[in-house]
Each structure stands twice: as C-alpha cells, then as structure tokens.
C-alpha cells in the first residue's frame, strides 16, 4: 500500500481512505449494509494495507460509528489506524443536537468516542460550515477538543474557499489548533474545487481527502440517462441525482468508459487514477458495497494515466453550480 503524509502533518495515511457511510443500518438508507455484510470490507481493507477510515456521527445516526469501531478493534491495531469522524448534522430533533456550537461539539465528540469505543480520534472534522454559529466559537471549541486529547487533528469539509481561508487565519491569530485537512467534493464531473479551494490547500499545506471521487457511483459506468441506473444505490440516491446526471456529465463518464475499455480496466479505476494523479490530493475517500468496488479501488493505485489521457478526460468539462456545500 502506498502511504503519504496527511498534508503538512507528520501522520502517514494510505493513499486510499475507506469511507464508512455504507456500513450501518439499512433502515437509514436502502443501500447501506448491516454489520454482518460490512465485516468483509473492513477485513479486506486492513489486509490490503488501508489504515485510514472515515465515518461520521450522522451516518445511520451513529450505527456506522459503532460498526466501524467494532470492526477496527477486531481487525486492526489502534496505534496503526487513522480514524476520522465528523460533527455538524442533526443527531436528534432538538436544536442543540446539530450545528457547530460549543455545546453540540462537546456533546458530539463524547458521543462519537463512546460509539467508536476509543479514547480519541485521529481526525475530527466539521461536516459542513455552520452559518448560524460564530466561527470563533466553533474554532475555539475544536481547539479545546484537541487539547483535551479527544482528537489529534481537526479537519473541515465542503465550504467556500474564502470561509476556509478565514477560519485558517483566525486559528493562526489565536494560537488555536489548525485545520489540517479539507474533505471536499471533487471528481471528474465536478471540478469547481480547482478554481480556489485546491490552490488554497496546496499553498497552506492542507491535506485534501475528497468525498465522492466516483461521483457516488456515477463514474462507475452503470448510470443511465433514463431511470438513473439498475442498482439500488442508483435508483434511491436522491442526493446523487441532484448533483449529477447532466448531459455533459454523461459525456465525461462515456470518455472514462471508452478509455477503460482501451486500457482493459474498469471505468471506476480510470476515475480514481485521475484523482490520484492530482498533486493536491492526499487520499480520496472510497465507498464499497460490493467486493469488486474495493478491488477496483486498490487496482487504481497501480494505474498511471498519460498526460494525453488526462486531457481527453478533462476536455468536455463544463462549469457547474456549487454543489455539495449543503
């Protein structure tokens, strides 16, 4: 397994991060796998050398954290594992059970640690930007989480580059723990992050760990213009249907599929090889609900695209509205 330093930190992570949203309670989303069905994916990931695992409190309303914690305790050593989770989204009906207030952050980190069965997480991330809470309140609370030993590092997720730059400035000015990662929306059919966020992260030494590098399966080559696709995920993932499925998106997916056929690989491998070729990216977060998904991701690590192939894939791209910040 290839390893890389996470941004400007001294912590090494695998070039692939296993996203654990898929593992939890099928009652939360139809395509989610229960614990028994999830176990082989954790076992295979650890066997393959993946040491980086990303979940969130809101995935299956905590069940994903519970399963992730139990599986990593069974198959991995804590000091060899980089464990990440997130805070922001509602965890109950009351107003203080969501957002990035000091109250919610302090409650949420303790709840996540209990569910994961660990004393600390390696990376604690804000799942989105909270416009209803003063940013200083959020940043100081995250600093206190780090100083309490409950998280080693902190990270952020999808927001505007100006918001991220402002937060980094406030952290530096106040001597608070600094964001070391950006988990943003980035893939072949959504490249708006190349305008400002990726250059900012490169300049500031921020590790980029994109979510949805396969566009929630859209770049796997099995999505349809009519009826979305044949899989349960394709048919029921309303979020993906709101993000993708534009005519230009299909043009790019078709180019990836054509190149995959020429290279004798899967379209998903082409899409992952493309994102791994970007110097700003530390480790894309991959999802896997079938064994082939994980094997394709592992195979993509060995696939190197030529400059002319990258240009071919990128040429049809058309600007998109900002997607994924909410």
Q: Please give the domain boundaries of the chain with CATH numbers for all domains.
A: 3-219+278-302 (3.20.20.100)
**Residue 216 main-chain phi, psi, to 5 deg:** 50, 40
Active site annotation includes 59? yes
Catalytic residue chosen out of the listed positions 59, 124, 186, 244: 59
Q: What pLDDT shows up at residue 233?
A: 55
Q: Are 140 and 178 in contact (CB under 8 A)?
A: no
Token reading at 155: 């990270």
pLDDT beneath 50, residues of the chain: 228-229, 234
pTM of the model: 0.92
Q: What pLDDT shows up at residue 196?
A: 98
Q: What pLDDT shows up at residue 191?
A: 97
Q: Are 55 and 285 in contact (CB under 8 A)?
A: no
Q: What pLDDT shows up at residue 55?
A: 98
Q: What pLDDT shows up at residue 237?
A: 52
Q: Residue holding tokens 């099995």?
A: 222
Q: What pLDDT shows up at residue 216?
A: 83
Tens-digit pLDDT profile for residues 32-83? 999 999 999 999 999 999 999 999 999 999 999 999 999 999 999 999 999 9
Token reading at 206: 């921020």
CB neighbour burial string for 171-191, b if at least 16 within 10 angstroms, e if fewer: beeeebbbbbbbbbbbbbbbb
């Amino acid at each position: 397994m290839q390893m890389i330093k996470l941004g400007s930190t001294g912590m090494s992570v695998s070039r692939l991060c296993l996203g654990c949203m898929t593992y939890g309670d099928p009652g939360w989303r139809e395509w989610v796998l229960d614990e028994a069905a999830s176990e082989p994916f954790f076992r295979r990931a650890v066997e393959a050398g993946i040491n980086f695992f990303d979940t969130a409190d809101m995935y299956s309303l905590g069940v994903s954290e519970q399963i992730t914690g139990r599986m990593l305790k069974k198959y991995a050593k804590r000091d060899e594992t980089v464990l990440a989770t997130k805070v922001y989204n509602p965890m109950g009906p009351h107003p203080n059970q969501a957002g990035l207030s000091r109250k919610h952050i302090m409650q949420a980190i303790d709840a996540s640690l209990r569910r994961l069965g660990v004393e600390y997480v390696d990376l604690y991330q804000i799942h989105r930007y909270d416009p209803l809470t003063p940013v200083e309140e959020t940043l100081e609370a995250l600093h206190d989480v780090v100083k309490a030993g409950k998280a080693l590092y902190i990270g952020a997720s999808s927001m505007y580059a100006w918001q991220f730059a402002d937060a980094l400035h406030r952290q530096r000015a106040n001597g608070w723990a600094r964001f070391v990662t950006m988990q943003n929306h980035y893939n072949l059919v959504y490249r708006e992050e190349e305008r400002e966020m990726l250059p900012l992260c490169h300049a500031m030494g921020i590790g980029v760990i994109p979510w949805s590098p396969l566009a929630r399966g859209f770049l796997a080559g099995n999505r349809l213009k009519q009826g979305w696709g044949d899989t349960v995920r394709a048919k029921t993932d309303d979020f993906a249907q709101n993000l993708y499925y534009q005519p230009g998106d299909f043009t790019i997916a078709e180019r990836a599929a054509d190149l995959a056929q020429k290279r004798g690989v899967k379209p998903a491998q082409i899409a992952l090889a493309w994102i791994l070729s970007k110097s700003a990216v530390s480790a894309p977060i991959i999802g896997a609900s079938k064994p082939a998904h994980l094997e394709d991701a592992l195979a993509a690590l060995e696939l190197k695209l030529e400059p002319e192939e990258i240009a071919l894939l990128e040429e049809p791209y058309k600007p998109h509205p900002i997607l994924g910040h909410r």
